[in-house]
């Protein structure tokens, strides 16, 4: 019979083979082209060379996989990847993923993986306190990402405001529930509206002000109008660090409105929540502790591998009210002590430990380590802004977070200027940036999302930008 264990010698050999290749990539990521040539047909051909009827022997399978990952990907761990919120992963969190795969703890029930469950519970309490909740009142669950956390928030809002929602669903709801967020909010909220059956149109995208924050005046008008039309305002979402420009909504004003209109107030801090770990930056999130619930993705600013997000709430019983189901096949609690089975608090059922990688990262680097690394990325963002202004670029957004949208005031009247610049930069293989419209003006968007990014990388980016701008002018 095929031996899935392999022999101890083969395991050792495979371990060293993989570790050598990984160490090479990890140590020399900066030598990669950030975006190599990625042609679909070549990648498909490479993928389909593998014939599962005639599996590879020896290390060929490993080599095939590693080579595919090395060659055919945007290298997001590269220090000059100024991209979406995809971090370089810290080394301890990488080890955690291997460790997790070996033990494969089953986190549906407490009794099967009590240590791994308690690790997650402890982290939820610690982060709840960081965000300003009372540890005894707070509850939460690890999820696969911001999208799942935001969906969890909408389900909690429905169950909190419509007590029979979990039984009757939307059939028992006489008025159409409405969700409010800014036009800059993440579209996972629209997806959540689709999944819950509210539908896409139940989400009101409220215009933003000069600072890309939700316009509170317009929000009030929308609320009043919906009430007049006999709809049911259900939830308002404040984004703390928008995906496009890093803007933080006025969370204190949103909380006030939420109180006034009896709304569930959710703070989507998927990216920006990391600011809570820095003594100065945490002030940007003022008011977040008043939110009924919070989304925070550790796989963004905390440099751990995907898929690591947290949904945290200050309402102890809402997750259980929303998700708890009794079954006969699930193991019963192993102890007489009150414990919570994660499957009664979450969308997922069988699932991996999500928290272990964050736990090991914090065990080793501590809060202090994160404070330094997040502070460094903020400083690099400030440095980039400063260098851009020195070279005559205009920064279009006002965020304090290291998300910078910029343009050239003289050249932007040409529709092809920004696309040309981004194309040239990405094609150079030296860096990766994207475009984003700020108040209708297309801009170049560069985000510091890597703890390894230094002034040298930013100087290189500026140099490229200035050279390509000169070429465009010529
Ligand atoms: C990234 C992001 C999300 C979605 O999170 P995923 O982890 O990609 O599922 C939601 N909201 C905001 C503000 C984000 O930046």
What would the DSSP string read from start to end of 362-396?
HHHHHHHHHHHHHHHHHHHHHHHHHHHHHTT-EE-
Whose CA is closest to atom 3 on ligand 1? 146
Ligand 1 mean position to 269 CA, how many Å?
Answer: 8
Q: Is the dihedral of CA 147, 153, 155, 157 positive or negative?
A: negative
pTM of the model: 0.97
3 state SS of 213: coil
- Is residue 247 over pLDDT 80? yes
Average pLDDT over residues 311-317: 97
- Judged on CB neighbours under 10 Å (0-12, 13-18, 19+), 395 is middle
pLDDT band of residue 327 (cuts 50, 70, 90) is: confident
Atom from ligand 1 closest to the CA of residue 306: 7
Q: How much is the average pLDDT of 357-385? A: 98
Q: How would residue 306 be classed by pLDDT, with cut points 50, 70 and 90?
A: very high
**Per-residue confidence at 330, pLDDT binned at 50, 70, 90?**
confident
Residue 328: which pLDDT band, with cuts at 50, 70 and 90? confident
Q: Using the mean position of ligand 1's atoms as its centre, give its distance from the Cα of residue 374 in Å.
A: 18
User: Which atom of ligand 1 is closest in space to residue 186's alpha carbon?
Assistant: 11
Residue of 76, 142, 145 best suited for mutating to test ligand 1, as the one with most atoms within 8 Å of CB = 145
pLDDT > 70? residue 334: no
- Distance from residue 149's CA to the centre of ligand 1 (Å): 9
List pocket residues of ligand 1, CB cut-off 6 Å: 85, 145-147, 150, 186, 188, 239, 243, 268, 270-271, 297, 309
The whole-chain average pLDDT of the chain stands at 96
Mutation test of ligand 1: which of 188, 214, 449 has the most ligand atoms closer than 8 Å to its C-beta? 188
When pLDDT is averaged across residues 135-142 and rounded to a whole number, the result is: 95
Shortest-distance Cα residue to atom 5 of ligand 1: 146
- What is the spatial distance between Cα 108 and Cα 265, in angstroms, rounded to a whole number? 28
pLDDT > 90? residue 338:
no
β-strand partners of 313: 139, 293
Check the CA dihedral 84-88-92-95 and report its sign: positive
At residue 93 the predicted structure's pLDDT band, cuts being 50, 70 and 90, is very high
Q: What is the pLDDT of residue 34?
A: 97
CA of 209 to the centre of ligand 1 (A): 22
CA of 240 to the centre of ligand 1 (A): 11
List residues bridging with 239 in a β-sheet.
Answer: 268
Closest CA to 440 of 190, 276, 212, 234: 212
Residue 169 near residue 176, CB atoms below 8 Å: no
Question: Among 149, 192, 238, 243, which is best to mutate for testing ligand 1, by the most ligand atoms less than 8 A from CB?
Answer: 243
Mean pLDDT for the stretch of residues 28-52: 95
The distance between the two most distant Cα atoms of the chain, rounded to a whole number of Å, is 77
Q: Which of 97, 94, 98, 45 is nearest to 72 (CA)?
A: 45
Question: Which residue, chain included where needed, has tokens 């005639």?
Answer: 54
């Amino acid at each position: 019979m095929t031996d899935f264990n392999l022999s101890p010698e083969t395991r050792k050999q495979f371990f060293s083979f993989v570790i050598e290749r990984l160490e090479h990539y990890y140590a020399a990521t900066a030598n990669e082209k950030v975006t190599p040539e990625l042609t679909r047909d070549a990648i498909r051909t490479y993928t389909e060379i593998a014939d599962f009827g005639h599996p590879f022997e020896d290390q060929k399978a490993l080599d095939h996989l590693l080579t595919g990952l090395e060659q055919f990907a945007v290298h997001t761990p590269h220090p000059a990847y100024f991209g979406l919120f995809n971090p370089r992963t810290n080394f301890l969190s990488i080890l955690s993923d291997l460790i997790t795969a070996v033990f494969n703890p089953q986190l549906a029930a407490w009794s099967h993986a009590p240590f791994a469950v308690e690790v997650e519970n402890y982290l939820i309490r610690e982060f709840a306190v960081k965000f300003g909740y009372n540890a005894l009142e707070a509850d939460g669950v690890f999820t696969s990402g911001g999208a799942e956390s935001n969906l969890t928030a909408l389900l909690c809002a429905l169950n909190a405001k419509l007590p029979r929602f979990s039984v009757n669903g939307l059939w028992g709801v006489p008025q159409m529930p409405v969700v409010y967020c800014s036009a800059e909010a993440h579209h996972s909220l629209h997806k959540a509206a689709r999944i819950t059956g509210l539908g896409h149109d139940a989400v009101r995208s409220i215009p933003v002000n000069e600072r890309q924050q939700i316009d509170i005046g317009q929000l009030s008008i929308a609320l009043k109008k919906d009430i007049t039309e006999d709809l049911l305002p259900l939830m308002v979402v404040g984004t703390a660090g928008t995906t496009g420009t890093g803007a933080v909504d006025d969370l204190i004003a949103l909380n006030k409105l939420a109180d006034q209109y009896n709304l569930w107030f959710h703070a989507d801090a998927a990216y920006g929540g990391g600011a809570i770990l820095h003594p100065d930056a945490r002030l940007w999130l003022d008011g977040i502790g008043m939110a009924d619930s919070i989304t925070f993705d550790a796989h963004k600013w905390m440099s751990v591998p995907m898929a690591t997000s947290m949904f945290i709430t200050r309402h102890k019983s809402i997750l259980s009210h929303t998700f708890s189901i009794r079954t006969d096949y699930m193991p019963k609690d192993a102890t007489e002590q009150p414990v919570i089975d994660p499957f009664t608090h979450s969308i997922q059922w069988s699932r991996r430990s999500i928290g272990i990688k964050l736990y090991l990262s914090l065990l080793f680097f501590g809060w202090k380590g994160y404070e330094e690394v997040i502070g460094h990325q903020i400083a690099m963002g400030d440095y980039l802004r400063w260098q851009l202004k020195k070279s005559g670029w205009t920064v279009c957004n006002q965020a304090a977070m290291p998300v910078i949208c910029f343009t050239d005031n003289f050249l932007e009247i040409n529709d092809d200027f920004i696309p040309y610049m981004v194309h040239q930069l990405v094609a150079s293989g030296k860096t990766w940036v994207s475009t984003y419209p700020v108040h209708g003006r297309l801009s170049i968007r560069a985000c510091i999302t890597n703890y390894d990014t230094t002034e040298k990388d930013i100087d290189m980016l500026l140099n490229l930008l200035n050279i390509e701008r000169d070429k465009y002018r010529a």
